[in-house]
Structure 1
Amino acid sequence: MRIGLAQMDIIFEDKHLNMLKVENLLKDANKDSIDLLVFPELTLTGFSMNLKDMIEGSLVDSPSIAWFCTKALEYNINIAFGYIEICGDKGLNNLVIISKHGTVLSKYSKIHPFSYGNESKYYKGGDEFILTRLGDLIIGSTICYDLRFPELYQILSKKANIILVIANWPHKRKDAWITLLKARAIENQCYIVGVNKVGMFGNTYYSGDSMIIDPLGNIITSLSDSEGIIYTNINIKEVDGLRKSFTVKEDRKNLLYIKGLTSNIPIKDEREDSNDIS
């Protein structure tokens, strides 16, 4: 399957202009026979805390979802994108996957709002793990700050052979972005697709660095400092073959890890003289 990454300079809080950008990218993706095109986090709004004007309803009440469904059908392409959904007095930062037939396949709500950037003040965290089947792909969905929580990826990769990470990740943390994407691919022996925005937001620069990483941690293709599409053909058999020959997952001690996470592990302190036998 041919996977495409649409790196965008998202116009902050301007859905109309961003729709024009998205449509141009979809036209290009159609010409390149891309099967799945993945867009950055909060595709039509950017990283907005202005929920009053930017928030939308659930799947059946969202104008953005209705528009993307129409475009998926028009351009005969599966699409993954981000949007803001209302949830009480807060929002949900969502990743939605739409089939080329114009139907919603799945919706994932970001589990880890970015507290360092005040996202958690405006957005509620999701509480579900989402997997989506698309042909021979089993896709795990994650968003931006989720990348720093490896447990999420271990859970998804129990079945997923490819995991999406859509993001608004600044250039100043570029090294962390690339390192974590590679680490998640190596740890989980699966493809990792990281799609980031590019351009300026206020005084912050986003260099993009969207990339596809193979199960061994190698960057297959990447794009920095410009808008555009990159793509590659994914061979899922590589995931199955690696997992069968290099049985990392079978060697995991999940029950022991849970015990460690939920228990108070004593510290062996050199200042204590309990081992003094003199």
Structure 2
Amino acid sequence: MTLRIALCQCGVEWEQPARNLARLEPQVAAAEADVVLLPELFATGFTLDPAGVAEGPGGPVAEALRRWAVQYDKAVAGSVAVVEDGCFYNRMYFVKPSGECAWYDKRHLFAPGGEARNYTPGNCRTVVEYKGFRFLLLVCYDLRFPVWSRCRCDYDAILCCASWPAPRREVWRTLLRARAIENQCYVAGVNRVGDDPSAHYAGDSALVDFKGRTLAEAGAGEQILTGALDDGALEAFREKFPAWRDADDFWIQI
């Protein structure tokens, strides 16, 4: 079985959710894929002060994702600033064409940039099953933490949405491949492009296979990058080279 995935590498208008949604919808509709992955905080930009733009669970941006998934018959994923019970979360949604929605709250907040001042970290991993594949959801800075994302034979691919600044672009490129190799999984990482008040973003979105090989990689401009995941090839490699059987046991204290 194969599954096509589209990485929507786009710019983001600062704190303009309605305009960003209007611009992104045609791209989602046109993507020839089973899953469309959008960048971190694609509707607002990576704002450190979410009070003015955060929405409640199931708010307008989440509802747009649900409508797109149902109307265009493809799963859609990306992160949104959400307020719930007085706390702000950088929440990644994964919405299926059925309208069913799963979410993951970013665990590792980018403290060096100030994200941890106003957002609350999540406390659990999320794995979503869709069309025979199991996806671990990660958001940007999470990619730096291998213990959190360690595969325990519970997923086949990592979906990572990001707002990763250009000065650290080689770190982004390296970590995508490192997570793929050590977990013997596919990794799909989408990053935004353009500028916001504090950073410039270079893109470098990529789809990487379980051997760390680049299946598709974007440059610096806006584009939709597509590629295919093959569960048969993944299973055959894991059986032929079963490094996962020698992984160390551990547990995570939260």
Same structural fold, with TM-score higher than 0.5 when normalized by the shorter chain:
yes
- Relative contact order (alpha carbons < 8 A, sep ≥ 6): 1 or 2 greater? 2
Give the SS at the match of 2:218: strand
Partner of 2:14: 12
**1:35 corresponds to which letter in structure 2?**
D
Q: TM-score, normalised to structure 2's length?
A: 0.94
Partner of 1:174: 169
Partner of 2:135: 139
What's the CA shift for 1:248?
1.1
Q: Is the 8 A contact 1:157 1:190 kept in 2?
A: no
Q: Is the 8 A contact 1:142 1:163 kept in 2?
A: yes
Alpha-carbon separation, structure 1, partners of 2:236 and 2:45: 38
Task: Map 1:93-108; keep pairs closer than 5 Å.
Answer: 93-104=90-101, 106-108=102-104
Alpha-carbon separation, structure 1, partners of 2:182 and 2:164: 21
Q: TM-score, normalised to structure 1's length?
A: 0.86
What's the CA shift for 1:88?
4.0
Write the deviation string for residues 17-42 of structure 1: whole angstroms up to 9, x where unpaired.
1011211211221xx3x110000001
Partner of 1:268: none
Alpha-carbon separation, structure 1, partners of 2:144 and 2:228: 27
Write the deviation string for residues 92-130 of structure 1: whole angstroms up to 9, x where unpaired.
1011011112331x1000011110111000110000110
Alpha-carbon separation, structure 1, partners of 2:84 and 2:100: 22
Task: Map 1:1-278; keep pairs closer than 5 Å.
Answer: 1-29=3-31, 32=32, 34-59=33-58, 62-104=59-101, 106-154=102-150, 156-202=151-197, 204-255=199-250
What's the CA shift for 1:85?
1.3
What's the CA shift for 1:236?
1.4
What's the CA shift for 1:204?
2.4
| % same residue | 29
Structure 1 unaligned spans of 5+: 263-278
Q: Is the 8 A contact 1:25 1:228 kept in 2?
A: no
Write the deviation string for residues 190-228 of structure 1: whole angstroms up to 9, x where unpaired.
000000000112352211000000000011101121112
**Which 4+ residue blocks in structure 1 deviate beyond 3 angstroms?**
87-90
Give the SS at the match of 2:173: helix
Provide the alpha-carbon RMSD of the alignment. 1.6
What's the CA shift for 1:242?
1.4
**2:131 corresponds to which letter in structure 1?**
G
Q: Is the 8 A contact 1:87 1:124 kept in 2?
A: no
Q: Is the 8 A contact 1:14 1:44 kept in 2?
A: yes
Alpha-carbon separation, structure 1, partners of 2:125 and 2:83: 19
Partner of 1:267: none
What's the CA shift for 1:253?
2.2
Larger Rg: 1
Alpha-carbon separation, structure 1, partners of 2:50 and 2:248: 42
Write the deviation string for residues 48-106 of structure 1: whole angstroms up to 9, x where unpaired.
123222111123xx1211122112212111101111111344311011011112331x1
Aligned length: 251
Q: Which has the higher helix share?
A: 1
